[in-house]
A and B are shown apart, each in its own frame.
Chain A
Amino acid sequence: MREEEIPYKGIEGIPIIREPGNAAKVNRGSWRLVRPVHHRDKCTRCKICYIYCPDAAINWTPDGPEINLTSCKGCMICAEECPTGAMTEEKEGA
């Protein structure tokens, strides 16, 4: 069913999430103890960090990975899996 077909759409008090994927605005950056840092010169654009990010915090651009620090929880899978060492970690708040 499309949204305009929902019969109770206009009724107040019914919990409907109107924007798919709106959790992207929630700040989970405060969970981090360490943050990933990307080094463009060492990157081979292999996509490994992008595929393995459990929080979709790495966006893929034609220019390589782009880290979204609002969603990144600092699990550091990207740094662990990067085959060339293009993703390193940095202590948060240092």
Chain B
Amino acid sequence: MQEFKSLKDIPEQDYFTGGSSTCAGCGPSLGLKLALKVLGPETIIINSAGCMTLLPLYPNTPLKASWIHNAIENAASTAAGARHGLDMLGDKDMNVVVYAGDGATYDIGFASLSAAAAKNERIIYICYNNQSYGNTGFQWSTATPYGSETKTTPRGKENPTGTTVVNKDMLKIMGAHRVYAATASLAYPVDFLNKLGRAKERDGFSYIELLGACTAGWNYDPRLTIKISKLAVRCGMWPLYEIEHGMLNLNKDFSELKPVDEFLNMQGRYRALPPNGVERLQGLINEHWAELKEYNGQRYV
């Protein structure tokens, strides 16, 4: 597939329509709209229960591709099954794509994801990461970053930092499965769609993690979805990189990161995070960024 160079190269054909019941300014919904531009209508999307389950609700669907509603534990196994079925029918062109949230990826569905990745099934797994269990009201998941307030980790006198656990390094875990693993951002659609194009061509498992800004949970004005996604990349909260055969490639390299304060101040979930919490978070980001810079172009996992 030809790589896109700028926004103008992105196809004008949409396989996603409006009228769904997601929030105004929903990040993950935008992610799926963009993904379908590359994947096309010959796609089976397997979805774990989550926010995106609300897209096709009988009798309406905003999709022009097939969709399987799935339990939260086993989207990857359903995808592997669908791929094997298609192989038996001799259908090589159909894309099998999982579109699941971070709760279904990091926590509940991790066993089936790990198995499918280890067996190197020919599927694309896209995780839309809104850093919480967004659909049930923003509870803590292992993707929630340090210092974020959630329904189950509220800020209080006893615990002023909110989430005290540091989130999992999922890319490293997936990279260690010796598959293609990459992060993507909505603010860099050309980078996201090129990664998806590469994943589509591959004869094996691909894992793409998309930061899906969540207006309701992160508590910001819906118009800022793209601004916040861009800032997350610029301040090192969400660096864009890919791991293939254990080798790291940093896609967006900056000589200097922006301070994280600007990113935090835009969102209600970080409101009243004490200065020592901000310092700790900045420390974690700097550590991760230094690690990525050190291993760029080399064996990472």
Chain A interfacial positions (CB closer than 8 Å to B): 15, 17, 20-28, 31, 46-48, 51-57, 60, 68, 70-77, 79-81
Contacts and interface: CB of A to CB of B under 8 A. Distances in A.
B25 A23 contact: no
A38 to B, nearest CB: 16
6 contacts: A21-B62, A25-B60, A55-B20, A75-B24, A75-B215, A79-B223
Secondary structure type dominating chain B contacts: loop
A74 B26 CA distance: 11
Given A21-B64, A75-B24, 9 more contacts: A17-B59, A20-B63, A23-B61, A48-B7, A53-B33, A54-B25, A73-B18, A76-B25, A81-B227
A21 B225 contact: no
A28 B14 CA distance: 19
Interface of B: 7-8, 10, 12, 14-20, 22-27, 29-30, 33-34, 41, 56, 58-65, 186, 189, 215, 222-227
In the complex, the 8 A-B pairs of residues with the closest C-beta atoms, listed nearest first: A71-B18, A75-B25, A23-B19, A26-B19, A73-B24, A54-B30, A24-B17, A75-B24
A74 B133 CA distance: 25
A52 B226 CA distance: 8
A57 B18 contact: yes
Contact of A72 (B7, B18, B60): B18
Given A21-B61, A48-B7, A80 B29 contact: no
Contacts of A68: 18
A79 B23 CA distance: 18
B7 A23 contact: no
The listed residue with most A CB atoms (<10 A of its CB), out of B18, B26, B58, is B18
Nearest to B222: A75
Contacts of A51: 7, 10, 34, 189
Which among B25, B64, B222 has the greatest number of chain A C-beta atoms within 10 A?
Answer: B25
Nearest to B16: A56
A53 B33 CA distance: 9
B40 to A, nearest CB: 13
A56 B29 CA distance: 10
Nearest to A59: B14
